[in-house]
Amino acid sequence: MDKRRDIAREIARRYCTLSTQGITTLANILVPFKVAKGEKLLKEGEVCKFMYYVERGMVRQFYYKNSRDVTEHFSYEGRIVICIESFLKQNPSRLMVEALENTWMFGIPHDALLDLVETDKEMAQLYRRILEHALISSQEHADSQRFENATERYVRLLKSKPEIILRAPMVHVASFLQMTPETLSRVRSSHVD
């Protein structure tokens, strides 16, 4: 229970301040997961039944389009990963989640969280803040794809989330930035850090 309480404190620190009771309430529903490098935490067609907080490691969300592997999102220490449409609707996901490293996570179960949201203002506020964070992050990434050139996208990622460039395979980084690995290589070599 101590580990779950520590994780609940970390989630509260990052997303929404919680009282001691709120920390305990959140800790009580957390479910630990260990995912080996290369393992899929969520496969296409499965329902996303958890929001996952990454304690250690890195995962990516991705999908296939025209037989191409497209990376949509990376999560690593201190961040939440959620296939938001599947989680909210409890419908099968078109997205998949794969561990890029051996990863330790704590899941916040959909049903237990929504039960709490109905009766607990702190949990409702935490839920809202996590969803807001996920939506803003998604919008920022979409805007970057729409309005920035390849170099600007790379520089933004390098400044805002250098862990991704340092730890993720470049083929996935290129996909995330919507460029070919060759373009990413040219951008990286021409950009002086």
Residue 81 lies in a domain: yes
pLDDT tens column, 52-64: 999 999 999 999 9
Given this model, what pLDDT does residue 38 score? 97
Confidence band for 190, pLDDT divided at 50, 70 and 90:
confident
Helix (H, G, I), strand (E, B) or coil at 99: strand
pLDDT tens column, 79-90: 999 999 999 999
Task: Give me the domain span that covers residue 123.
Answer: 31-146
Confidence band for 192, pLDDT divided at 50, 70 and 90:
low
Q: Identity (one letter) of the amino acid at 1?
A: M
Strands 96-99 vs 40-42: parallel, antiparallel or unpaired: antiparallel
| Residue 96: how many other CB atoms lie within 10 Å | 20
CATH classification of the domain holding 141: 2.60.120.10
- Please tell me which residue, 190 or 163, carries the higher pLDDT value: 163
The pTM (predicted TM-score) of the whole model is 0.91
Given this model, what pLDDT does residue 95 score? 95
Regarding whether 135 and 59 lie in a shared domain, the answer is yes
The torsion defined by the Cα of 18, 22, 28 and 31, in degrees rounded to 10, comes to -30
